[in-house]
Amino acid sequence: MKYIKVITLSLSLVILSVLAFVGVANASNFKSGDTITVAANETINSMLFAAGNNIDIAGTVNGDVYCAGQTITISGTVNGDVFCGGRTIVVSGKVDGSVRLGGQTVTLSGTIGNSATIGAQDLVIDKNAVISRDLLGGSQNVTIGGVIGRDIVSGSQNLTINGKVGRNIDGGVQTLTVGSTGRVGGNVKYISATDLTVSTGGKIAGTVTRTAPKNNQTSTVAPMALALGWFIYVFFAALALALILVALFPRVLIEVSAKAIKAPGQTTLIGIAGMVLIPMSIVILMFTGIGIPTAILTLFAWFIIMIVSGPFAGYMLGRLLLPKSKQPVWIMLLGSAILIVTYFIPFIGCLTMLAAYIFGTGMILTQGKQLLLRPSTKKS
């Protein structure tokens, strides 16, 4: 399918981007924690990597910003590009380059010097917002109140234009509305089962072309935009977990990855054994009745292992790709980014995810066993 090729190309570009900025690792700033703040009077003269619950960038960043968290606010100035994923994202400041955002709710009320690629459930381009070039969005609800300098390509359920679009609109939508203050400088070409609604005062300079969906399906533009938006969100959410782990437990990752590289076969066998025996043990404990509390605790621990197995495998991959590096953050960033990207490739993604799950689980169980044995070793 056409949109799968576009996504694959996008994934390749992400890999190339990661490889590119690994070469300038020394010119970066990494921040992690529950709350991360760049104060209004603070200036960061490097790329900024931020992973935490709440991220607030009110100062100036002279470089690209890569961030992932629950709530992200950018009210300052970024003289570069912004790549962020989170639940709630608000950009009210100035971004000199492009923004690529993935979240549940995304609001833009500032100035974007280039283009915006956004995947969200609800996307709001405020009346004060300016996107100098293009907007590519995959969202359930999109409301445009500001200025889009050139084109809009959108896959959404509801698209409302209350601001100004410099050129064309192209997409697959359920409902498309041009409000009384809406202005479209070019053509509107969309696929939908319903006609465009233009309120009194709204204007479209070019032609309007609606194509009815065939076989009750929307156009390829909609799934392409939605898939791209979903990729952005998952990529940064998974990468945030990996970066938080390496920030909190760098020594553990260094130690366990070194052992896994020396004994990959043993690590794989331990991972497979854990995948089979631990779930069986949980089921057996459940049936005993008296073991239910232990089973619940074991199930919770196993769920945590499943989540963090990917980052552990990603760190080991990074160690293989950067064997001479002594920067755990960059090792994790490269390995995890490539691993996450492969998850989105059809068929290969399933195999990669299974391999990461097995190997990461083996690494965690191996390290856990050694931690349990250390006290008894000291006593002897």
pLDDT in tens, 41-86: 999 998 887 877 889 999 999 998 888 778 999 999 999 999 887 7
Q: What is the DSSP letter of 200?
A: T
Report helix, strand or coil for 84. Answer: strand
Which one, of 49, 47, 85, 86, lies nearest residue 328 by Cα? 49
Spatial separation of the C-alpha atoms in residues 108 and 86, rounded to whole Å: 14
Spatial separation of the C-alpha atoms in residues 184 and 107, rounded to whole Å: 21
CA distances from 348 to 56, 224, 324 (A): 37, 19, 28
Report pLDDT digits (tens) over 265-323: 888 888 888 888 888 887 787 777 677 777 788 787 888 888 888 889 989 888 888 88
Spatial separation of the C-alpha atoms in residues 2 and 115, rounded to whole Å: 22
Using CB atoms within 10 A of its CB, is residue 45 exposed (0-12), middle (13-18) or buried (19+)? exposed
Stated pTM of the model: 0.61
pLDDT value of residue 338 = 80
Q: How many residues does the chain have?
A: 380
Structure tokens at 16: 């190339």
**Domain residues of the chain, as ranges?**
2-157, 249-372
Are the beta carbons of 363 and 312 closer than 8 angstroms? yes
